[in-house]
Amino acid sequence: MTFSYDDPEKPIEEYAGILGYFLDGHLTVIDNAIKSLETIDFIKYRDQIFDDPDKQIHEIILPLKKGKLSVVFDWSDDLLTLIGQIPSIDLINDPEISNTGPGYSSGISLFIADDSTLDDVCSDVSSLVNYILQECHDSRRT
């Protein structure tokens, strides 16, 4: 996405195509298309996946509207790493985050990708969330 942070006084929530943002690892949802991401306890999921100390990386295959997607992450990654691999979502580094005050170090905004729609985003995010929830459920049964 071509993003122009043209007005530092304009709240990020007012920019076209904004879905949400991560501020120091915490997700704030702006558009309901990504709301289901709030249902994931990613740290618990990651700990469950990497319970075996010999496991270095994990790959999941997501069935998306535009085809299958291989998503790869390791034990140190966070939910943003997975979201960043979804083609219908663009991650934009917030250049003004250093001006938010002491204690904040990183901010990433989530936007609809140029060639995608809100339906694409909703479908892709649902696929990710459903996969993670199912994998958590399956691993508890074994």
Q: What's the mean pLDDT in 41-52?
A: 89
CA dist 130 to 8, 39, 106, 114, Å?
A: 37, 10, 28, 25
The pLDDT confidence band at residue 139, using thresholds 50, 70 and 90, is low
Domain ranges of the chain: 14-141
Q: pLDDT tens-digit profile of 77-121?
A: 989 999 999 999 999 887 665 455 666 567 889 999 999 999 999
Burial of 44 (0-12, 13-18, 19+ CB in 10 A): exposed
The pLDDT confidence band at residue 5, using thresholds 50, 70 and 90, is low
- Bigger pLDDT: 9 vs 69: 69
Checking if the pLDDT of 17 tops 70, the result is yes
pLDDT for the residue numbered 142:
52
pTM for the complete prediction? Answer: 0.85
pLDDT for the residue numbered 103:
61
pLDDT for the residue numbered 26:
86
- Going by C-alpha positions, the residue among 43, 57, 70, 50 that lies closest to residue 131 is 70
